[in-house]
Structures are given as structure tokens and as C-alpha cells.
Amino acid sequence: MGENSIPSFKAADLVVRPSSRPKAKQPTFSFGTAFTDHMLSIEWTLSEGWQTPLIRPLGSLSLHPACSALHYGIQLFEGLKAYRGDDNRVRIFRPMLNMSRMARSARRACLPAFDQSELLECIRRLVELDQDWVPHTASHSLYIRPTFISTESSLGIKKPTCALLYVIMCQAGSYFNDEAEPVSLWADPKYTRAWKGGTGDCKMGGNYGGALLAQHEAMDYGCQQVLWLHGGDHQITEAGSMNIFLHWINEDGEEELATPPLDGIILPGITRQSILELTSKWGGFKATERYLTMGQLCTALKQQRVKEMFGSGTACMICPIGRVFYQGETLRIPSSRQEISSRLTSRIAKALTDIQSGHGLQCDPPFPTE
């Protein structure tokens, strides 16, 4: 039993069956396409509980065609990254926050509880085994994708009696094509990403698959991503699969970095939380969780009170926003005309990169690379 008394698998029992044919480690930074040699898998059944965690060569899953993860989307995932520091040691960025968000998503998906520290320890062992895949170049990383699916082989819609938790990993560069290049957003209330009482604040695949059609419609309007609006007042919620920030002079004349509050429709992003924690200590402006509407953004743009707008997420880290297409008009965000080095996005990106490469305290302690 784990430290917080949840019946769970134990990292101490982990079985490792290493691959006899490791792949050549050619750097492939195209997001989510080139996977490392090994995966972690842990099975669960209602009658027998959690089974022994296993690290084995990456391979296909065998699922019953009635598997309820496929039919009813009873599944969830996480995304976290490991970085190679200047000291050549590998660190995972704030992984316990991902473990606890994963546990929250599992509750929402009616998947079983697990001990978060034990899972993290198993992931650490996986990263250690495949550490040669962690890129040596700054701003590149190893993306870790824990996934938890119901393996129930029944068409009845019911709480799973069997499940599989697995973790795969791939190298990651920039999620979008050019990291510094601002993205364009299509803001239209036609599609909704999340609603109160829904699953938008959990990391479930349906939130992302359900967004695909809107993403394609955004492209028809010449935009790269969707700016998700909510409610009659067109509240700004998220951008694509990112949390969103607005750096502006607010209605009271104060300089503010604002992001929508975690009110049930916003994904509690780890990068979002890190940006709030970092910038609230910087001074010069306040970092706030508050509602923002398109009306407020339009007025602020007209009055030249907007400094920058950007998205944040594990995959992209920080992504500047250059323009928003809304109600037939293109709203230009002024930051795209500023020098890159003078942007707040650059300062935040540098602060995060410094932490990830070992100059800060917020990354997990490294493990030896030899």
C-alpha cells in the first residue's frame, strides 16, 4: 500500500524487460512522431487490484474491439517533459503536479486511484532507462505521455472493472513550426470547448478530439488556432490546447498579466501555474486570475492598452499571439511588432528554460546520467 493508503502498485516491484534492439537515436523533434525504446505499463482489475508495473520494449496494445476507452472515451492522459541540463543531468519539470492532475482526471473518468509518488517513481525509472533520448540541445526535451484507459470489453456504459495505465515518450522540439512566430486565433462562439460540470478541466482525450473540427474551421479563416469563448459575454477561456494570458493595462489603469480563473472550464495547466508563480514575484505588474471578455479586449486594443497576449502549455511552453479574427475583423496584438527580446513572453520563456536546465529549484532533482 502506498504512503497515502491508496491500494496501488509499487515502484519497488517494477519489472524491467529491456529491449534487445534499441533504435538509433536520431534527433526527431517533430512533435509526437518518434517514440523511445521502452514503455511502462501497469494493469488493474477490480477483482485483483493493481498488477506489477512493467517496463518493456515499446509495442502495440491488444484491445478487445468493445473496449470502452474506444467506444465511450473512458480514458485520460498527461503531458510532462524531461530536460537535459547544462550539467548533462536529466530533470523532469514539476512532475508531481502532473501526477495530481492525473489522479483528478482519473476520478472524473471513473478510473481507479493510484499512488502518485509510486507512479512518478516508475516514470523516473523509464526516463532513466531511455535517457539517451533526452535531447542535448536547449529548448528540446523528452515529452512524457502517461495514458490511462478503460480496457472494459463490454458495450454497457459502466464503471470500468479493468484498466491499463501506460507511459510512452517521444522527443519534442517546438510544438508549432516557429517558436518565436506569433500564432493567429479564430474567435467565434459557434463551438464550445468546455462548460461548467463538464470535463474541460480534466485532461481527457475527448476534449481534444472534440476540438478538431473547430480547429479546421479556424484554418478556413486563415487562422492557426481557435480562441475558445464562453457564454453570452464571449469570455476568453483558452487558445487551441493552451491556457491564455493577456498582458495589458487594465480598466483601473494597472499593469496586469491576467489569465482566466480555474472555475471548472479551464485546464489547470502546469505551465500556467508556473507563470503565475514566477511573475507574481517579479513586480512591476500584478499577476491575476480573472475573467476577460472579447469586449474588454476590443476596447483595450482601441485604447492601446494591450501589451501582449500568449498561450502556455507543456507542449508549446509559451506561444505569442499575433492576431485574433473576431466578428469579421482582424484584431492585431501589438506584441507581434515588438522586438522579440523586449517581449514579456521572452522573459518568461527564459525564466522557465533556466529552471528546466537546472538553474532553478522548481524542477525535480536530477538523477545521475552515468
224 contributes a contact to ligand COI by CB under 6 A: no
Q: Is 98 in the site for ligand COI (CB under 6 A)?
A: no
Measured from the CB of residue 105, what is the shortest distance to ligand COI in angstroms?
A: 12
Applying CB under 6 A, does 214 fall inside the site for ligand COI? no
In the beta sheet, which residues pair with residue 150?
A: 163
Whose Cβ is closer to ligand COI: residue 14's or residue 39's? Answer: 39
DSSP codes joined into one string, 153-209: B-SS----SEEEEEEEEEEE--SSS-TTSPEEEEE-TTS-S--TTSSTTS--HHHHH
Q: Please check whether residue 135 is in contact with residue 171, taking contact to mean a CB–CB distance below 8 angstroms.
A: yes
Q: Of 340, 330, 280, whose CA–CA distance to 310 is shortest?
A: 340
Measured distance CA(190)–CA(216) in Å, rounded: 13
State yes or no: residue 79 binds ligand COI (CB under 6 A).
yes
Of 132-140, 282-290, 307-315, 322-330, which part binds ligand COI (CB under 6 A)?
Answer: 307-315
Residue 48's Cβ-count burial label (10 Å; 0-12, 13-18, 19+) is exposed
CB of 233 to ligand COI, least distance (A): 27
Three cell numbers, residue 306 = 494591450
Nearer to ligand COI, 2 or 313 (CB): 313
CB of 133 to ligand COI, least distance (A): 18
Select 98 or 250, whichever has its Cβ closest to ligand COI.
Answer: 98
Beta bridge partners of 44: 50, 163
Strand pairing class (225-230; 183-187): parallel
The CA distance from 92 to 80, in Å, is 7
Q: Does 270 bind ligand COI (CB under 6 A)?
A: no
Q: Is 207 in the site for ligand COI (CB under 6 A)?
A: no
Measured from the CB of residue 130, what is the shortest distance to ligand COI in angstroms?
19
| DSSP structural state of residue 131 | G
Amino acid residing at 326: Y
309 lies in the binding site for ligand COI (CB under 6 A) = no
Q: How far apart are CA 352 and CA 152, in angstroms?
A: 40
Query: Which 6-65 residues touch ligand COI, going by CB under 6 A?
Result: none
Near ligand COI by CB under 6 A: residue from 151, 314, 335, 336: 314
Binding flag, residue 313, ligand COI (CB under 6 A): yes
The residue within the footprint of ligand COI, chosen from 208, 221, 282, 291 (CB under 6 A), is 208
Q: Which residues bind ligand COI (CB under 6 A)?
A: 79, 208, 241, 313-315
